[in-house]
Chains A and B, each alone.
Chain A
């Protein structure tokens, strides 16, 4: 088929326009855009919640809100950031870029793809609706148990818990649908000649993620359903009085919850090496080793869950097993770090915005990984656990390791998606403000945790004041810096310098062989990989 007939073919398609285009679309690029836009909006929503929390923590005493409301904000912040910001961002990239990278015309299951996305907005509404309902005197607000739903606190909770359970069900269905789509697409729709071991690393990262999601989301869905029946239908899965065990819930939750960390991070580990190789102008180091490590981490992720609750009291052999298996994750992770750094080593480096984020990401995510190694130690964990040390640790992995990775990906692919270059100056400003204020927000929290400040408290003893003040001020800088990001994206979508097909000098891969922006239906003629 020649390119003129391809264009002709495009015109004959009768696309609905306006809102109906987005509601009914089965086009992978449209759905990718929807996911990414949704993710950005929810990132700002979740960020606003935590800024309110940080404002309350600016000084001792209760200034802005009651403890009940405080507890709702921290839990919903986490649920929003993980389920509605980070995961949809990864799925958005998968939709946009996987078909382009593997030379497929679209995702394998386009209608399912549409449904997968349109489950998300109702889920987000369910999650946050109780806030609004409480204003009208219905119920007592959103879920106030933290994102972990621990029983019996969640059995005691109000309607917010039920809303959150149904929200998690919808989010879970959406994730499983997305995963099925990714697996089918990757395994069946690669261009001729692209063997598995020639696939872009992003496809590998997502493949592992997809399997993890399918393995763990049903367990979470089961756990919260058991919680629902405990709350309303008189079962006693988690109630000792009826022969149940509250700790069973923690086991079920973290069987999902620990792999969830990797579910959020693996797609990022997939595309980061591609960004590093682009701006190093040098082939990726240790492709095979990285693939093996991704799978090893995926496998280990499924068998270390109990290190999230060492303090509940466990038999010594269980403690030792979960400690040593957790430490073992550091080995494949170290291989990845080695490969990332070896990729830039002796390259010909340039530091455009995506590369700035990528290098910053290696360093900051490294801090998250190393503090995680320390946390694996059961004895010291008694002190770290549920203190601000843990809060700082997982923000280094999830904000620096996850969100800053996503930002790097956005800057990397935005010119390809929109056909315009973004403002490099604003991008760099965004990076430096983010990196500096992020550290100033969370380094003090390491010290707060060591000094003995528990997490999830709305008010604190006087010796914690100074570090909290620094952390709050920095958090506001961090929060407002993200407006630069939003502005940069919006103005890039609307116009700007025309982007070339290749965009970045060292970019390699099928997506860069298409025009920027790529046509609505790409690869109408199948590319052949040699």
Chain B
């Protein structure tokens, strides 16, 4: 045996031992109805061809390796961004376990979230009792100041009416009458996690602004000069929101971040467990109605929220995940225009530094081809940045990208000579991407952790930008917004480019004449 009690191997090494190798080989031979290896190889090569791609793109029913998640994930994301608020997902508990693990694996932090744990009888008779018991238990066990309810498919299929259920629960004394319970219907069979973000955010805002589901008077807007900020669903929320606060601080303006997850997903290890930390206070959420304007960093995360805010008389401005110098310029100039405060010198300097860094390194990025996948706004922001760097975002794919997004991407390509050969793929999955990487090869792939399979299969080096990032740690601490964020993205791209050059020039006495110290 290669392993014994005095010498315990981890799985990297253990199953490479002869006894396991033999066992696995026998299993293949005897039980797995092994195919002719030549035939396997033929198919492997065939799926790289345009012929296969054509078949692949004819797929109608099957989605393979989707680059999106479900609505409630976005709703949970919103909920934890408010002070002492617990996300309550009405539906089956398995879903909720997914959201918690998904976030915890990405942020390396616990994510508190409860479920109404619907079972078979609830599916038959409706989930009202689960709601009544669930809200009561949540209120008593976790002492929240607010509960943000969203739904899983199960509740949606049977048509549970959240508004009515919550009302009934309050009547039954689950929670005090004036306790804040917001809600949003978030079926997974509609849209994706960005839709869920939108619905949940809209739910919170309309709760506070529009009379708390008819229980109190609607708020009267008394316009002031402050700005509301919506980040959208964002895997870099910890770094990004801290950067945004710093930027607003430099402007010296009044602002409200609606949904601030930066503390709860980055709690210190100091001996105290914080189930809740930071977040937008409920008072702030209510007072946000008086703001002069609301800025959304991700248009496609706030398609319903912004119109609601606009209806209350505010100016609303949406960006598409600004990363490029130009996009950040627009962002800052918008703040400046809205507030009448000039752009601080410190930020002007940071702009110059980013331009300087780009100029120092752009020769290495210029002309390189990239495939990008992810959420629509992130794709847009990264493609815009790449065009600015003289790279070609040849393939841009969003499983949750809409027709309007497609048009917007195409317009972006048309605006730059580097966009000439670029194509946008809405409603496509990572198996489509796999075909594209074979038939229209690129130099680098930008995507989330799941891109590692594409990297392995197609040999396209993966730059991990997106959500989720499970297999690299702490990326979420570094902003990708503001000039500082642009710099971080630039560095990440460069790191991979240089790593790739090193990896392809490291064979001693063969290719290592270019294995240089100075790049």
**Are A and B a genuine interacting pair, yes or no?**
no
